[in-house]
A and B are shown apart, each in its own frame.
Chain A
Amino acid sequence: MSEKHIDELSGVETTGHEWDGIRELNNPMPRWWLWTFYATIVWSAAYTIAYPAWPMITSATSGVLGFSSRADVSSELALAHGNKSAYLEAIRSDSLDQIMADPYLRQFATAAGSAAFKVNCVQCHGSGAQGSPGFPNLNDDEWLWGGNIAQIYKTIAHGIRFPGDEETHISEMPAFADILEPQQINEVAAYVVSLSGTPDTPDLVGAGAKVFADNCVACHGDDAKGNKELGAPDLTDAITLYGEGQAAIARQIRQPKHGVMPAWGARLGDVQVKELAIFVHSLGGGE
């Protein structure tokens, strides 16, 4: 240590260092600063005791206050679930019609159904429920198995052609390749296209109408408006599931494709299926 040196002008002790005759005053720290500094030391010590802090070999000290952000999340989630429980109970106990008649419950169910849809349904029906060839668009007003709330509920709960569910929709269209001649298939395809548009071969329509009356009306009806009991689509509207045009129709007559949808009732439970039904019903085509 160098000797104590007092600055003449200010009367303050210097640090004892000198650079080209310049010395640094060794003023003490302001007291408020010093005490704040001590306070932070005390605070940090207390903090490490109160809260999880010190790393140990396998875990860390848990702190005397027992704070845990994970436990906080759990309790907040439990609280959120608790807040929902009244609505969920109402959805469980009320009928679909009762839920639809209660604006708040309906809104809650729609929102919950929207969330469930994003997890369970978008894989086939698309994120906007817009569907794709083979997977129906749920926004429109064409329903294979019925578009009122009860029918939508039943379809979701029991699925379509889903093995293992007794109440699933099972009917299928036969493969007409084994029943009709290729020419007849072309004729009836031309007729079906003519119901909603212009076929490629208009001269076959007349013969096609005959073939249709002989083979198709049992399921699709005399007026070709379909039958929702059997999942037989309305052939007169602007919506097709497996592609538009005469060739696509003929292909479907020859060797029909049949979609399969799982039965969600056993998997998601009644409450969520109700919510999904109400959500799908709200997409604009609900009857």
Chain B
Amino acid sequence: MLDEREVERLDVEAVNSAKTRQPLYAARKKIFPKRASGRFRQFKWLIMAVTLGIYYLTPWIRWDRGPYAPDQAVLLDIANRRFYFFPIEIWPQEFFYVAGLLVMAGIGLFLVTSTVGRAWCGYTCPQTVWVDLFLVVERAIEGDRNARIKLETAPWSASKLAKHICKHAIWVAIAVATGGAWIFYFADAPTLLVDFVTGQAAAVAYITVAVLAATTYVFGGLMREQVCTYMCPWPRIQAAMLDENSLTVTYNDWRGEPRSRHAKKAAAEGLSVGDCVDCNACVAVCPMGIDIRDGQQLECITCALCIDACDSVMDKIGKERGLISYATLADYQSNMAIATDPATGKIEPKRARENGKLNPGIAHFRLSRIFRLRTFIYAGAWSLIGVALLVALLSRDRLDINVLHDRNPQYVRLADGSIRNGYTVKLLNMVPEPRNIQLSIAGLPGATMTIVGVDEAPGRVMSVEVEPDKLKTIRVYVSQPLDQIKEGGTFEFVIKDMGGSETGTYVANFNAPEAGK
């Protein structure tokens, strides 16, 4: 176990601290985050691997849909207006499923934020993930914090130049790969890769990659925390999602203050001392350049790296972990009340302890805090939409009929006196297999139909071949003998998949001249 004086004190300034915050027009002060290690860092590595894996690999997953549809598991086929997601195929008119998913994503963010705070920002936001990735490269080439600061202030030399070129080259490569992965969601990935490399791909592919590569490089490599602080609206919206029971990264000053580099000496002098040894480890690892000990701040993305940094120091000096921890405001306030001397109004960390251990009255996060009215409402709304979408998805039609009734002319009198109406019938075969669709008319006694292009005798039942995954437009003429015509005649077009069980109907009108004409 180390003495607190043996804990190295890092020379670091929180550049975005509320106390020293720069005016907006001043040049940005660069942040050199130190490498952190611990359970949250481990967790972040895991999330990073999963999210990057999903992003880069998804377009390469194959999914056999037979010979009439692409075999890419996830494909946004803009040109043909089809969206494929594993076994699900979505036509443009079904895009509300995607809208529903976006609504679910929104409510899901509310739910997550109200329980575990800005977890989205700290772990899964692309900005966070890519900045982390860029930092890995930076660290591998230029070294950790101190080495990087040294390199930054060193005069230009061949080695400095080489390091810079190397770092930026790798950044650009990552950026291009990032932009490159995006386009594979919109076309067959293996084909597009070959086309792209050989210069055969469409201009829009190169432009998309260029734009996304540029934004990735600038946001992830150069702008970093400024994107979160100045550009992103989400941190500001999230404030409305947080309440006193939401987890946030909290510096527990009720046990940390007064901080001291010389705790033993101060204690010997009878002064009150907290657990914080003022080593600045929490500031050094912060990618946002803040000092968490200043309290909750707009800039904090709750990446929890300061928790890792502090925990390792607490381990070294033999104190309980959690001087910086995920805590709710309610817990923090109740602990603060315990630790505050009612007489002086000052923090007395002694009050939080009994026999050198934390007071049993000290509140810690309990899972039950997650279950409260607010989260139930969010979870309820989220599940409701999810169930509705699922039911709609499972019961949706893969065979559909739309009918446009001719209005000019409204009806045609034929030589035998019967009356004919014309219809433009659209048959939607929404499966990637050719289907033989039976079209029949129900109602309208005595009526028969003919289909333009089908050389069959007029009848009440016809069959139409519809290509896989296509809409087929046919012209249908329905005639009814004059003596059978009733005013306001309606009937049904009925379709049936001959090779399956799917059916569909459309109620159509039949126009006829007024009686006696």
Which of A's residues lie within 8 Å of B, judged by CB? 27-31, 103, 106-107, 110, 126-130, 137, 139-142, 196, 234, 237-239, 282, 284-285
Out of A103, A128, A237, which one reaches B415, CB within 8 Å? A237
Q: Is the CB of B409 within 8 A of A139?
A: yes
Residues on A with C-beta less than 8 A from B406 are 128
Out of B25, B415, B422, B452, which one reaches A238, CB within 8 Å? B415
Q: A27-B25, A284-B420 are in contact. Are A234 and B409 (CB under 8 A)?
A: no
* Least CB separation from B420: chain A residue: A284
Q: A30-B24, A284-B477 are in contact. Are A238 and B417 (CB under 8 A)?
A: yes
* Selected A-B contacts with CB under 8 Å, 16 pairs: A27-B23, A106-B453, A110-B452, A126-B408, A129-B409, A130-B412, A137-B409, A139-B422, A140-B413, A140-B414, A237-B416, A238-B416, A282-B453, A284-B412, A284-B450, A285-B412
Q: A27-B23, A106-B453 are in contact. Are A128 and B413 (CB under 8 A)?
A: no
Residues on B with C-beta less than 8 A from A142 are 414-415
Q: A284-B422, A284-B477 are in contact. Are A127 and B412 (CB under 8 A)?
A: no
* Least CB separation from B476: chain A residue: A284
Q: A140-B412, A238-B415, A284-B420 are in contact. Are A28 and B453 (CB under 8 A)?
A: no
* Least CB separation from A238: chain B residue: B417
Q: Is the CB of A103 within 8 A of B413?
A: no
Chain B facing A: main interface SS: loop
B268 within 8 A of A: no
The complex places the Cα of A74 from the Cα of B110 at a distance, in Å, of 53
Residues on B with C-beta less than 8 A from A27 are 23, 25
Closest 10 CB pairs of A and B: A128-B408, A237-B415, A130-B409, A238-B417, A139-B412, A30-B25, A128-B409, A284-B477, A142-B415, A282-B452
Q: A30-B25, A282-B475 are in contact. Are A234 and B412 (CB under 8 A)?
A: no
* Least CB separation from B226: chain A residue: A32
B27 within 8 A of A: yes
Binary CB contact string for chain B from 397 to 408 against chain A (1 if under 8 A, 0 otherwise): 000000000111
Q: Is the CB of A137 within 8 A of B412?
A: yes
A31 to chain B, nearest CB (A): 7
Residues on A with C-beta less than 8 A from B414 are 140-142, 238-239, 285
Q: A141-B414, A237-B415, A284-B422 are in contact. Are A31 and B27 (CB under 8 A)?
A: yes
The complex places the Cα of A142 from the Cα of B416 at a distance, in Å, of 9
B291 to chain A, nearest CB (A): 23
A280 to chain B, nearest CB (A): 12
Residues on A with C-beta less than 8 A from B417 are 196, 237-238
Residues on A with C-beta less than 8 A from B450 are 284
The complex places the Cα of A129 from the Cα of B412 at a distance, in Å, of 10
Q: Is the CB of B413 within 8 A of A239?
A: yes
* Least CB separation from A33: chain B residue: B25
Residues on A with C-beta less than 8 A from B477 are 284
The complex places the Cα of A138 from the Cα of B286 at a distance, in Å, of 81
Residues on B with C-beta less than 8 A from A137 are 409, 412-413
Q: A103-B453, A282-B452, A284-B420 are in contact. Are A28 and B412 (CB under 8 A)?
A: no
Residues on B with C-beta less than 8 A from A28 are 25
The complex places the Cα of A29 from the Cα of B408 at a distance, in Å, of 65
Residues on B with C-beta less than 8 A from A239 are 413-415
Residues on B with C-beta less than 8 A from A284 are 412, 420, 422, 450, 452, 477
* Least CB separation from A237: chain B residue: B415
Q: A234-B415, A282-B452, A284-B422 are in contact. Are A127 and B408 (CB under 8 A)?
A: yes
Q: Is the CB of A141 within 8 A of B27?
A: no
Question: In chain B, residues 17-57, which have Cβ atoms closer than 8 Å to a Cβ of chain A?
Answer: 23-25, 27
The complex places the Cα of A29 from the Cα of B416 at a distance, in Å, of 85
Q: Is the CB of A140 within 8 A of B415?
A: yes
The complex places the Cα of A158 from the Cα of B414 at a distance, in Å, of 26
Out of B24, B408, B415, B452, which one reaches A130, CB within 8 Å? B408
Residues on A with C-beta less than 8 A from B452 are 110, 282, 284
The complex places the Cα of A128 from the Cα of B475 at a distance, in Å, of 15
Residues on A with C-beta less than 8 A from B482 are 238
The complex places the Cα of A239 from the Cα of B412 at a distance, in Å, of 10
The complex places the Cα of A130 from the Cα of B421 at a distance, in Å, of 12
Residues on B with C-beta less than 8 A from A30 are 24-25
Question: In chain B, residues 475-511, which have Cβ atoms closer than 8 Å to a Cβ of chain A?
Answer: 475, 477, 482
The complex places the Cα of A28 from the Cα of B409 at a distance, in Å, of 72
* Least CB separation from B412: chain A residue: A139
The complex places the Cα of A282 from the Cα of B415 at a distance, in Å, of 17
* Least CB separation from A236: chain B residue: B415
The complex places the Cα of A64 from the Cα of B412 at a distance, in Å, of 60
A6 to chain B, nearest CB (A): 15
B30 to chain A, nearest CB (A): 15
Residues on A with C-beta less than 8 A from B413 are 137, 140, 238-239
Residues on B with C-beta less than 8 A from A107 are 453
A147 to chain B, nearest CB (A): 10
Residues on A with C-beta less than 8 A from B407 are 128
* Least CB separation from A196: chain B residue: B417
The complex places the Cα of A140 from the Cα of B414 at a distance, in Å, of 5
The complex places the Cα of A106 from the Cα of B455 at a distance, in Å, of 13
B514 to chain A, nearest CB (A): 15
Residues on B with C-beta less than 8 A from A110 are 452
Residues on B with C-beta less than 8 A from A106 are 453
* Least CB separation from A131: chain B residue: B409
The complex places the Cα of A282 from the Cα of B23 at a distance, in Å, of 75
The complex places the Cα of A192 from the Cα of B96 at a distance, in Å, of 62
The complex places the Cα of A107 from the Cα of B424 at a distance, in Å, of 14
The complex places the Cα of A133 from the Cα of B111 at a distance, in Å, of 72
Q: Is the CB of B415 within 8 A of A141?
A: yes
The complex places the Cα of A10 from the Cα of B416 at a distance, in Å, of 97
Residues on B with C-beta less than 8 A from A282 are 452-453, 475
The complex places the Cα of A238 from the Cα of B482 at a distance, in Å, of 11
The complex places the Cα of A183 from the Cα of B453 at a distance, in Å, of 49
Residues on A with C-beta less than 8 A from B27 are 31
Residues on B with C-beta less than 8 A from A127 are 408
The complex places the Cα of A128 from the Cα of B405 at a distance, in Å, of 13
The complex places the Cα of A242 from the Cα of B409 at a distance, in Å, of 19
Q: A27-B25, A238-B413 are in contact. List 20 more A-B contacts (CB 8 A).
A: A28-B25, A30-B25, A106-B453, A126-B408, A126-B409, A128-B407, A128-B409, A130-B409, A130-B412, A139-B420, A140-B414, A140-B415, A141-B414, A141-B415, A238-B416, A239-B413, A282-B453, A284-B412, A284-B452, A285-B414
The complex places the Cα of A129 from the Cα of B408 at a distance, in Å, of 8
The complex places the Cα of A28 from the Cα of B25 at a distance, in Å, of 7
Binary CB contact string for chain B from 401 to 440 against chain A (1 if under 8 A, 0 otherwise): 0000011110011111100101000000000000000000
